[in-house]
Amino acid sequence: MTTKQKDTIDRFLKGGMSRREMIERLGRMGIGAAAGAYILNQGMTEALAQEFNWKAHEGKTINLLLNKHPYADAMIANLENFKSLTGMNVTYDVFPEDVYFDKVAAALSSRSSQYDAFMTGAYQVWQYGPAGWVEDLNEYIQDSDQTAPNYAWDDMLEGIRKSTAWSGVPGAELGGEDSKQWALPWGFELNSISYNRRIFDQLKVEPAKDLPELVELAKKITDSDAGVYGIGVRGSRSWATIHPGYLSAFANYGAKDLTVQDGMLKAAMNSPEAKEMTALWVKMIQESGPKNWATYTWYQVGTDLGAGASAMIYDADILGYFMNGGDNKEAGNLAYSAFTPKPGAEAPTPNVWIWSLAMSTFGGQKDATWYFMQWASGTDHALFGARKMDFVNPVRQSVWKDEEFRSRIAKSYPGYIEQFEASSPGSKIYFTPQPLFQTVTTDWAAALQKMVANEIPVDEGLDELAGNIDRQLKAAGLG
């Protein structure tokens, strides 16, 4: 790299010019776009190395356990930059999501030293953390000898950062003063409406403003001659059915899963607000959902939207994003809408899924692993993933302000940024943190299936569910 090139890159990295201006200056030096990207990556690597001893663990190898996901793809595509920066090697195993969490649980519960770090959801660390299976990362984040000065922890979106921290006390607030940082946010999903503009234009309809309108709109579409069903939502007997659209609407109605009374947990999913919202949800599925709704996971929900079998989904915004590209039949036809379910509510309250990175307690390379984790969750890798790969939604505020990233999304996914910016202020985990999370939510999904199948009325079904959950909490010493 020449002195002029280095000076240009340095000024850009220090905020002295925009990326566009930097590219134009490199162009005047006779450097094309591809070469400019290479020089920029090289410049970032050199700048990082000058500020922090990234070579402290040169020659060491860490092993990762990864879920097959675009976030993992982006990291793998950028690994050579990490290796160049640190002199370390990285090996990894990748598994599809239908078996991934079982692989993680098996490795941790057996105290295996095979993996140093792994992908996880924030919900899962409510089990892993108190069990002593993952490290509290606060000691690393706060250690200036082990954390690069430009890591910018506060650049993480606050609601997302706090949602991955917990004291371990059942029912305690996420991100409270005594919280342990069980994982680092990596990328997340908030829940909104993704819909097919082609079908909406054909039927001359507009996105619904609230849940009662959504129920009516979905039925209108289902009853039309468009040949599609109105709306896709998850329905399998799994925790994953409760956390996306359902809990986002549930929270917007002011309902809660559990409350804390005299230091003990009590089921609250049968409150009047919960019954009002759930009755609308069940009606929507009965009238306008897929025929085999009880088998639907995120995959079927997304595939139907991409194939033109459904007109809308109420699920992760990035699911609509991914279905709007590739070889999907409806690629280019999809649009996005921030959604406020309760009539009169001020703003959306999307529950979130946060793909995170956690450090195994049983790995033998903890300090070296931390170097990888801060790089993988740092600004430079996030910018690479956002600009060059499908690393959305980023967890860093600075990335959402990046001109190149925003231009790319606005051009190919119109309306996506607008729905994100309307939804993200209220985005966080709305579940009450507690170690029986998976059991509670799986039983909840089973209760929904019974209500949709007309095996039990909504009010009675939620009362029965709450009673069942209270008995489990009491047996576990939590209620």
Residues 437 and 288 in one domain: yes
Q: What is the pLDDT of residue 37?
A: 55
- Same domain? For 340 and 383 the reply is no
pLDDT of residue 314: 98
Split into its structural domains, the chain has a count of 3
Nearest to 426 by CA among 340, 319, 298: 340
**Residues 165, 194 within the same domain:** no
Please state the pTM of the whole predicted model: 0.86
Q: Both 451 and 383 in a single domain? A: no
Of 198, 263, 247, give the one whose Cα is nearest residue 448.
Answer: 247
DSSP class of 433: P
What is the residue-level pLDDT of the chain in tens, covering all 479 positions? 566 666 676 656 545 556 666 667 777 777 765 555 545 555 554 544 457 899 999 999 999 999 999 999 999 999 999 999 999 999 999 999 989 999 999 999 999 999 999 999 999 999 999 999 999 999 999 999 999 999 999 999 999 999 999 999 999 999 998 999 999 999 999 999 999 999 999 999 999 999 999 999 999 999 999 999 999 999 999 999 999 999 999 999 999 999 999 999 999 999 999 999 999 999 999 999 999 999 999 999 999 999 999 999 999 999 999 999 889 999 999 999 999 999 999 999 999 999 999 999 999 999 999 999 999 999 999 999 999 999 999 999 999 999 999 999 999 898 999 999 999 999 999 999 999 999 999 999 999 999 999 999 999 999 999 999 999 999 999 99
Determine the pLDDT at residue 14: 47
Q: Give yes or no for a contact between 212 and 280, defined as CB atoms under 8 angstroms apart.
A: yes
Query: What is the per-residue pLDDT for 362?
Result: 98
Are 270 and 295 within one domain?
A: yes
264 and 194 belong to one structural domain: yes
pLDDT at 36: 54
Q: Which two tokens stand for residue 24?
A: 């134009």
Start-to-end CA span in the chain (Å): 64
Do 130 and 266 share a domain, yes or no? Answer: no
Separation between Cα atoms, residue 414 and residue 399, nearest integer Å? 18
Are residues 155 and 270 part of one domain? Answer: no
The residue to which tokens 């994100």 are assigned:
420
Find the CATH number of the domain harbouring 372: 3.40.190.10
User: Where in the sequence is the domain holding 228, given as residue range(s)?
Assistant: 190-351+430-475
Confidence (pLDDT) at 46: 52
User: Residue 395: CB partners within 8 Å, gap ≥ 6?
Assistant: 156, 157, 160, 161, 185, 186, 187, 188, 354, 377, 382
Q: Tell whether 111 and 175 lie within a shared domain.
A: yes
Instruction: Classify residue 15 by burial, with Cβ atoms within 10 Å: 0-12, 13-18, 19+.
Output: exposed
Euclidean distance between CA atoms 178 and 267, whole angstroms: 25
225 and 106 belong to one structural domain: no
What's the CA gap between 67 and 73, in Å, rounded? Answer: 10
**Do 286 and 344 fall into the same domain?**
yes
Q: What is the pLDDT of residue 375?
A: 98
Q: Are residues 295 and 213 in the same domain?
A: yes
Q: Which residue type is seen at 22?
A: M
